[in-house]
Chains A and B, each alone.
Chain A
Amino acid sequence: MAIDTQPGHRLDKRPGGNGTPPVVRRILLDNGALSALVVMVVAMTFMSGDFLSTQNLLNVGVQAAVTAILAFGVTFAIVSGGIDLSVGSVAAFSAVMLGWFTTTEGMPVFLGVLLAILTGTACGLVNGLLISYGKLPPFIATLAMLSAARGLGLVVSDGTPITLPESMSWVGQTLGEWLPVPVLVMIGMGLITAVVLQRTYSGRSMYAIGGNEEAAHLSGIRVPRQKLVIYALVGTFAAVAGIVLATRLASAQPQAATGYELDAIAAVVIGGASLAGGVGKASGTLIGALILAVLRNGLNLLDVSAFWQQVVIGAVIALAVLLDTLRRRA
C-alpha cells in the first residue's frame, strides 16, 4: 500500500459530484478552512458587487495583515503545545518604542525599527525564561506579559499616541501605486513561518515538543532552550505586526491591538492547528486570518451592524473548528 495521505484524512470517493477537477477537490476536502474561505468568497461575490474588486481585495489583505503576522507567531507557540496571550500588548509596546526611538530619541528609522523588533524579541525571551526556567504555564506567563507590556507602553508614551516621522509613512502605503506594503510583509512573514516550521531544527523541535514533550526531552532535544527560541520568535513577530499597524495609523498608540491576541489565536485554530500541540501549519494560519478579514469586510459591505458582526464572528469560529473536528472523526 503506497499511500501518501495521513490517516484520518481519507478521500471522499463519492461518484458524481460537480465538475471540479479531482486535485482541487482533494485539496478542499483535506483542508476544511480553505473550503470555508472559498465558500465565503463566492457567497460574498454574489451578495455584494463591490467585494470582488481589486481595491477591496487588497483592503481585505491589509486588514488581514496585522492579525496574520501576529497569528504566524502564535502558531509557533501553539504547535509546541503552548500559547501566547501577550502578542497584542507586545505589538503595541514595540510600536510605542519605535515612536519613542525615532522621535524623542531622534534615531534614524532603520535603527528605530531594529530596536523596536528587538523590544518584541526581548518580551518574548522574558516569556520564554518564565516558562522554561520558572516553570510557569505558558498561559500564566504570557498573561502576565499581556498586562506588563501594555503597561510599559503606556509608561513610555505617557498614555498618548506618538506620531511617527514622515519618513516612515511609506511602510503603510503601497508599492507601485497598488501593492500595499502590509500585504507584502504578511506574505514575507508567512514564508518565513513556513520555512521555520518545515525546514529548521527549531521548527521540527516545536512539533516534537508539542507532540510529546517528554519524548522530545528523552531524544536529546533541549526543550527549555527551544522554548526560549519559540517565545522569542513569537515576540519578534508581534513586534513586526505592531510596526505594520503603527505605520498604517501613522502613529504609535499605546492602546492599539487590544484583544488582537484572541483574533490571532482564533486564526491559528481556524487554520487547523490543535491547541493540544503538535499540529499546525503556516498556510492554515494564513487562511484563518483571511477568513476573519473576509468576514469583517463582507459584513461591512453588507452594512451589518458592528454589534452583530461580533456575534457572527464568534459563530464562525465555533463552526469552523466544529466542522474540522467532525471531518477528522469521519
Chain B
Amino acid sequence: MTTPDPPPARELLRTEGIRKTFPGVVALDGVDFDLREGEVHVLLGENGAGKSTLIKVLSGTYRADAGRVLRGGRPVRISGAEDAEKHGIATIHQEFNLVPQLSIAENIFLGRQPRRLGLVDRKKMEDDAAVLLGRVGISAPPRTPVSQLGIAGRQMVEIAKALSLKTRVLIMDEPTAVLTSEEVNRLFAIVRKLRSEGVGIVLITHHLEEIPAIGDRVTVLRDGRSVGQVPATTPQDEMVKLMVGRSIEQQYPRDTGKASAAVKGRQPLLRVTGLRKSGVFHDIGFEVRAGEVVGVAGLVGAGRTEVVRAVFGADHYDAGRVEVGGKKLPGGDVWAAHAAGLGLVPEDRKGQGLLPDASVSDNLGLVTLRETSKGGFVDRGGQRKEATRIAERLGVRMAGIDQHVRTLSGGNQQKVVIGKWLLANSRVLILDEPTRGVDVGAKVEIYQLINELTASGHAVLMISSDLPEVLGMSDRILVMSQGRIAGELTAQEASQDAVMALAVGSATPGTTEMEDSPRGH
C-alpha cells in the first residue's frame, strides 16, 4: 500500500525516567527523550522547564537522581566531561568554553595537543585545525587568536572542537540567540551537513520560526516533564500551547503606532542630537515622547548598544547632546542620567544587570540605594518593603525576597533588572534586548509591562534583534546600520523587508554617506 519505509535510523541516545531535584525544586521529573542518527531534535520549553538541566545531565555536569541514559542501546554513566567525550557527546553552551588569548588551533586541541617527543607539535596541530575549520567554513588562519573572532566565529570554533572529538551527539544550547540572520543561515547549513553525516543534534532554541527550517522532531518540556513530542512542522501556536500549557492569545499585545500618533508634536522626554563617537557612531539624532515605544533595529555590530550606553552615560561620547525632559545631561555620568529619569536595562543580564550572589531585595534596591539613604545610612527595612512590593507587582516567581538572583530563571531575573528602574521611577526606560533568553510566557509579561508603563506616561526605547518583536511592539522604529541611523519607520511603514533593507544598507540611495563620514583622523 505504501512505499516501504527507509530502514529506521539507529538510535544514538536515549534517556529513561530522568529525575533531578535541587533543594526545594524538582528540575526534571521522569523525562524520556531519544535521539537518532542524522536528526535534529529540538528541545523546547520555557525557561525553568528543565531543558538546561537535561543537557547538563547528558553532558555529565549533573548526575541524575533516578533514571538512566543509554548510548547506542547500552546504559552508560556520564559523570563528567571526560565520560561525555568518551561516549562521543559534545555540548556547546551559551557561554563558550574558549580561551580568548589562545589561537583557534590551540583552543580546538586544548588539553590534547598533538605531541612529538613530549613537545607540542604546532605544525600538526595547525594543519589538523585548518582541516576542521574548512569543514565549518571558517577562513581565518588557525593561528588567529580567538579574541579576534566575532560571536559567530567563536561558535564555529566550538563546533570544530566538537568535530575533532569525533562527536556523534552534538548538543547546542540556544546557538542562534546571539547570531544575525545571515549567521544563523550559515550555522544551519553546517548543522545540515553534520546531520547528513549521521551526527545526532539536540538543539535548544526560543525562536519557534527556526524549528521547521532546521528541526526534525520536537520534544516539549514543561515543569520538568516531557509534555509532548511533535514533528517540527507543527504549527507555532500549537507548540506554544504545549510549552505554556495554555494558548497565548496575542504574542505582541500592543496597538502599535497609536501612541506615536497621539503624542506627535509634543515635547519629547528624551532628545538626542548630533551624538558622535569617533569610529563607533555618527550623527545620531532621535526623540522619544511620553507614551511611545521606539524600537531600535539593526544588525549586531551596527552600534545600537554603544549608542544607548552613551546616551545613558555608561560610556563617554565625543560630541552631541542628550536632553531628558528638556534638560541637558552631562556625558559619562550614570548617576546624573538616573537622576534625570533615565533607566537602562542592559543587554547582558548576568554580566551587567545583576549582582548574582545578592538577594532579590538587594538587587531591586540598588538604584534607589542612594536616595533612600539618610546621612549615609541605608533604610534596609524600607528597602525590603519596597522590593517586596515591586516583586509582587512584576510577578517575580521566587522562594522569597532573600533568594539569590543567580537561582532565578532568566525571565524572572530580567524582571528584577527592570524592577530596580521601576522603583527608581525612571520616566524613560532604555531596554537593550529585553527578552533575550526569556521564555514565551515571561516575554508576554514583559510586553504587558511595557504597555502599562507607556500608558502611564513613561517612554521606552527598545533595542531588539528579534525582528518580529521590534515590529510587534514599536510605535516607531529606528534602523541602525554601520554606526548611523539609516532610517526611521512608522509602525505602518515597517515590515521585515523594510527594516532589513535599511539594516543592510541597500535602501540608501547612492553611497554619499560613505564619503561624508569622517573615517579616522
Give residues in A with beta carbon < 8 Å to B.
1-4, 6-7, 10, 198-205, 207-208, 211-212, 214-222, 278-279
Contacts and interface: CB of A to CB of B under 8 A. Distances in A.
Nearest to B337: A220
Given A215-B352, A221-B369, A278-B357, A201 B378 contact: yes
23 contacts: A1-B399, A7-B23, A7-B403, A7-B407, A10-B23, A200-B377, A200-B378, A201-B370, A201-B378, A214-B351, A214-B352, A215-B352, A215-B366, A217-B314, A218-B344, A218-B353, A219-B334, A219-B420, A220-B335, A220-B339, A221-B370, A222-B335, A278-B358
B373 interface: yes
Looking at A4, A201, A202, A208, which has the most chain B CB atoms within 10 Å of its CB? A201
Interface of B: 23-24, 312, 314, 334-335, 337-339, 344, 346, 351-358, 362, 366-367, 369-370, 373, 376-378, 380, 399-400, 402-404, 407, 420
A90 B498 CA distance: 65
B400 A212 contact: no
Contacts of A221: 335, 366, 369-370
Contacts of B312: 218
Nearest to A207: B358
A214 to B, nearest CB: 5
Given A198-B380, A217-B334, A220-B338, 17 more contacts: A3-B399, A7-B23, A10-B23, A199-B377, A201-B373, A202-B376, A204-B362, A204-B369, A212-B356, A214-B351, A218-B312, A218-B334, A219-B334, A219-B366, A219-B369, A221-B335, A221-B366
A4 B314 contact: no
Contacts of B351: 212, 214-215
A17 B407 CA distance: 32
Contacts of B353: 215, 218
A200 B376 contact: yes
A156 B447 CA distance: 66
Given A4-B402, A200-B378, A218-B352, A211 B358 contact: yes
Given A214-B351, A215-B352, A204 B404 contact: no
A222 B367 CA distance: 11
Nearest to B402: A4
A179 B246 CA distance: 70
B423 to A, nearest CB: 11
B407 A220 contact: no
B520 to A, nearest CB: 25
A187 B312 CA distance: 44
Looking at B23, B366, B380, B404, which has the most chain A CB atoms within 10 Å of its CB? B366
A219 B380 CA distance: 18
A1 B400 contact: yes
A3 to B, nearest CB: 5
Given A201-B378, A216-B366, A6 B404 contact: yes
B369 to A, nearest CB: 6
Contacts of B337: 220
A203 B362 CA distance: 12
Looking at B339, B351, B352, B404, which has the most chain A CB atoms within 10 Å of its CB? B352
Contact of B346 (A198, A205, A208, A218): A218
